[in-house]
Amino acid sequence: MREHRGGRSMRCVARPGARPREPRPALSVGGAHFPAGGWMREPRGGQSLRRAMAESRREVEREAECDEDEPMGKERQLLREEFAAVASCAVSVARRYLAENNWEMERALNAYFERSGEEGAFKRRPEPEPGCCVDLTNEETTDSISSKTSTSENLQQEDGSMFSLITWNIDGLDLNNLRERAQGVCSYLALYSPDVIFLQEVIPPYYSYLKKRASNYEIITGHEEGYFTAIMLKKSRVKFKSQEIILFPNTKMMRNLLCVHASVSGNELCLMTSHLESTRGHAKERMNQLKMVLKKMQEAPESASVIFAGDTNLRDQEVTKCGGLPNNVLDIWEFLGKPKHCQYTWDTQMNSNLGIPAICKHRFDRIFFRAAAEGGHIIPQSLDLLGLEKLDCGRFPSDHWGLLCNLDVIL
């Protein structure tokens, strides 16, 4: 696994002469109150939260240690474990909410998040120093290497010959060090300045933060409550046309497929992202969702280049069971020769955010590509991992690595 360009940890450094930020009004989202300063605070009852997170980690650890074919037990046990993993709560809490909501996952999760918002008054943390957040509206950063890299890439893009994208599950459901981790993610986005960004596990306060810090991007979301996906388009390069949300009828985890129609340098694009059903116990539903994704890619206009990027939670044997990818759809990692340095995007050996000792490596995050029928106007060229350095808080930006993909645009 190689280090991405720069090889340095992302730090939020105050810009010389930066003006103090104006006080911002408190934000209320879904019943939850977010104090002035615009960012989430840690919930009260820290000991209870730590106990809940510890139990959730034990559930994830047990999953990581189990073989793919090991039976999971009864359906309600599966639901309890999945609820606990998604909501980062104790299994006993999951059992109560599921029972109160007739064991319907989506209803139970909605009830949990609404209740958490009403009860979870947030502690104040010391306000950050003026200018410490990396502002995505500013093309320059205080890191000299970052500045040089961004300038180089911007020069490449002036003639429209390069197209870049990032896909990343940013783990918004983990509230620990969320502000610092969000700043870390934004540092990478500012550094590489991709044309399109695909995000998973976005939560409303994170979305609000991105809207303020990334005003040079148009942000389209797959939902507005709970947790959801988003596609961000750089306004200076990518022209937005329309959007569409495809529901997964049997999801237990509020998952869907977000589609955005756009264009870049005169090339028509169909952009898609999703967060497919999690954990091996939901492999059947995940494979059904994959089939829907591939069907939608096939149905896109032949004149468009189609890119799907997201957290698929797929194991290779599941793709095989689905009959593999269609002949005209590429897995970009496979197309580029299966480079070892970016094979695993969820790696508990290298990434300590979950705090579990079990070693589990998966290529959960994938990019699928279908070229336009009229010719290869957009051609994948490279793939790299992002987020490999710990932040000053001692954690990585997410429990997933991000993926940076560069593609050539044939004019």
* 365-370 sheet: strands from edge to edge: 238-247, 256-264, 267-274, 305-311, 365-370, 330-331
3-class DSSP state of 281: helix
Rounded distance between C-alpha atoms, residue 306 and residue 309, angstroms: 10
The token pair that represents 378 in the structure block = 């957009």
Rounded distance between C-alpha atoms, residue 366 and residue 328, angstroms: 16
Neighbouring C-alpha atoms within 13 Å toward the C-beta of 177: 18
Rounded distance between C-alpha atoms, residue 398 and residue 134, angstroms: 17
* Strand stretches in 251-315, DSSP E: 256-264, 267-274, 305-311
Q: Give the number of other CB atoms < 10 A from CB of residue 370.
A: 21
Q: Is the dihedral of CA 296, 302, 303, 305 positive or negative?
A: positive
3-class DSSP state of 149: helix
Rounded distance between C-alpha atoms, residue 253 and residue 82, angstroms: 9
Pick from 347, 342, 349: nearest CA to 404: 342
Active-site residue, selected from the candidate residues 311, 347, 365, 384: 311
Residues near 402 by Cβ (< 8 Å), separated by ≥ 6? Answer: 166, 167, 168, 185, 188, 365, 385, 386, 387
174 as an active site residue: the answer is no
User: Tokens 């029928």 correspond to what residue?
Assistant: 373
Pick from 397, 228, 194, 406: nearest CA to 311: 228
Q: Give the number of other CB atoms < 10 A from CB of residue 16.
A: 7
Which amino acids are annotated catalytic?
311
